[in-house]
Amino acid sequence: LAAVAALAAATRSAASPYAALPSVIAGLVAVVALHVALPSRRAEPAVAPKEPAVRANTNPESEVLATPMTGLAGQVPARRTVLLASSMTAAGAGLAAFGSWNTRALTTPILPAALPTPTAPLGPLPTGLESMVKGISALRTPVDDFYRIDTAILVPRVTVADWRLRIDGDVERPFELSFADLLAMPMVEADITLNCVSNPVGGEYIGSTRWLGVLTADVLKRAGVRPTADQILSTSVDGMTISTPVAALQDDRGALLAVAMDGKPLTAEHGFPVRMVTPGLYGYVGATKWVTRLTATTYAARRAYWSDRGWAERAEVKTQSRIDVPASGESFSSGFEVVIAGVAWSQARQGISRVEVQVDDGEWSPAQLGPDVGEHYWRQWRWTWPATSGTHRVTVRATDGAGVVQTTDVAEPAPDGASGLHTISISVA
């Protein structure tokens, strides 16, 4: 087992020369511990326990076990053996803890004393509807609650000192950037909602925050992407590949190579030290975490990880709306106004202009919209309903900035994002 673990660790794409060491040490500790702990028949003839199974520990200072341990075939190992085996185990655990502490210390990010200031800082985020509606998604998702989706079993720990971004492929001037080089470029602040293509209708794989980073377009401009390229294939330190249309990274939507979210450096889970954020595109085609290489190429020449697994090569975020409160199945007493509230988004289509709510098969009623944070950011909404008794279906729909109502066509997340209206059912006594 230790050999399997060592092999697995050593063959990871981000493996260091010491990757196999913890498994090798664990294997050695196991061999020694088993050797010491397993009763040898010659040395310790079988003895049936003569005392009751549980002895009171009369000396509170002593660490003697209260329950005698029964070894193989009912043998009772000598106390010395038990003590030795437990100290070996403790030493092994200590070593493991030291090992993980040590690797963490080695990879602790070396951060700039302060985050660079954006060229044009944004004003404070407006107060969201969460100030008046309990249970609605906060206008800004706290980093700790931000959904996490990736293929990394172990979160890559990248140091700022080791990090490089290589821009190559079909470009005039391939080059490499260090973290300091990146921070020296003009910094941009932007409020962007990030969506996962796997998010089902009404699902949780969406979050909104303020990002700080460099325009991906600025970096690509330095390299000079040739007109023959239609795809930027980005690669992360753990070997993940994501393909993004060149156009989406060069137009004015403001795609970022982000270094911070919500005013703090990215966490390891969300892509420290640098990740992509591309407004209007699902994460799997535009939000590469731990990004380390941008290769200009074509869709005909290179396929990304998820494209090889049946997901669409290109996928724009679909217009969607979600009911956050009440929870489906909740019951109320009549005579009360039920507050129905949630969020709606339509990034590639000029934001949200309208949200409407329908009870059963009734009229669509306009909901009150929360603050407008920009077309790439979700919009909160609320609607109060003087509840009538019975069991009711409540449905929401959003209209984008161009006046197009979200589709009622039901689609599963695969291959290019879920669609359909979010409906809940509530009962009123």
Ligand X SMILES: Nc1nc2c(c(=O)[nH]1)N[C@H]1C(S)=C(S)[C@@H](COP(=O)(O)O)O[C@H]1N2
Which residues would be at the binding site for ligand X (CB under 6 A)? 146-151, 194, 196, 236, 238, 240, 270, 283-284, 287-290
- Tell whether residue 414 is a contact of Mo ion (CB under 5 A): no
Nearer to Mo ion, 22 or 413 (CB): 413
* Spacing of C-alpha 10 from chain mean position: 25
- Cβ–Cβ under 8 Å, residues 4 and 30: no
CB of 412 to Mo ion, least distance (A): 14
Question: Which of Mo ion, ligand X, none does residue 290 bind (CB under 5 to 8 Å by kind)?
Answer: ligand X
- Tell whether residue 283 is a contact of Mo ion (CB under 5 A): yes
Token digits of residue 129: 């509807």
Dihedral sign computed on CA atoms, order 341, 411, 280, 150: positive
Q: Which stretch binds Mo ion (CB under 5 A): 142-150, 181-189, 261-269, 308-316?
A: 142-150
Maximum alpha-carbon separation in the chain: 87
Query: In 198-239, where do the E strands start and end?
Result: 206-215, 231-236
Q: Which stretch binds Mo ion (CB under 5 A): 87-95, 184-192, 195-203, 382-390?
A: 195-203
Instruction: Give the β-pairing of 164-169 and 291-297.
Output: parallel
CB of 54 to ligand X, least distance (A): 50
- Tell whether residue 306 is a contact of Mo ion (CB under 5 A): no
Among 357, 343, 356, 342, smallest CA distance to 392 is for 357
Token digits of residue 371: 């603050």
- Tell whether residue 284 is a contact of Mo ion (CB under 5 A): yes
CB of 310 to ligand X, least distance (A): 14
Nearer to ligand X, 273 or 283 (CB): 283
CB of 290 to ligand X, least distance (A): 5
CB of 287 to Mo ion, least distance (A): 8
Distance, in Å, from the CA atom of 138 to the CA atom of 264, rounded to the nearest integer, reads 18
Find tokens 């989706």 and name the residue: 149
Nearer to Mo ion, 196 or 355 (CB): 196
Nearer to ligand X, 288 or 347 (CB): 288
Contacts of 282 (CB under 8 A, 6+ apart): 195, 196, 197, 315, 316, 317, 417
Provide the 3-class DSSP secondary structure of residue 105: helix
Q: Which stretch binds Mo ion (CB under 5 A): 10-18, 106-114, 141-149, 206-214?
A: 141-149
Nearer to ligand X, 197 or 424 (CB): 197
Nearer to ligand X, 292 or 319 (CB): 292
Distance, in Å, from the CA atom of 137 to the CA atom of 373, rounded to the nearest integer, reads 14
CB of 136 to Mo ion, least distance (A): 23
Nearer to ligand X, 137 or 288 (CB): 288
Among 155, 48, 151, 52, smallest CA distance to 109 is for 155
Nearer to ligand X, 182 or 357 (CB): 182
Among 84, 101, 98, smallest CA distance to 39 is for 84
CB of 157 to ligand X, least distance (A): 13
Question: Residues 250, 253, 256, 260: what is their CA dihedral angle, to the nearest 10 degrees?
Answer: 170
Distance, in Å, from the CA atom of 212 to the CA atom of 210, rounded to the nearest integer, reads 7
Options 187, 196, 237, 340; binder of Mo ion; rule CB under 5 A:
196
Question: Which of Mo ion, ligand X, none does residue 287 bind (CB under 5 to 8 Å by kind)?
Answer: ligand X
- Tell whether residue 286 is a contact of Mo ion (CB under 5 A): no
Question: Which of Mo ion, ligand X, none does residue 194 bind (CB under 5 to 8 Å by kind)?
Answer: ligand X
CB of 170 to ligand X, least distance (A): 22
- Cβ–Cβ under 8 Å, residues 66 and 55: yes
CB of 277 to Mo ion, least distance (A): 13
Q: How far apart are the first and last CA of the chain?
A: 59
Provide the 3-class DSSP secondary structure of residue 311: coil
Nearer to ligand X, 77 or 283 (CB): 283
Give contact residues for Mo ion (rule: CB under 5 A): 149, 196, 283-284
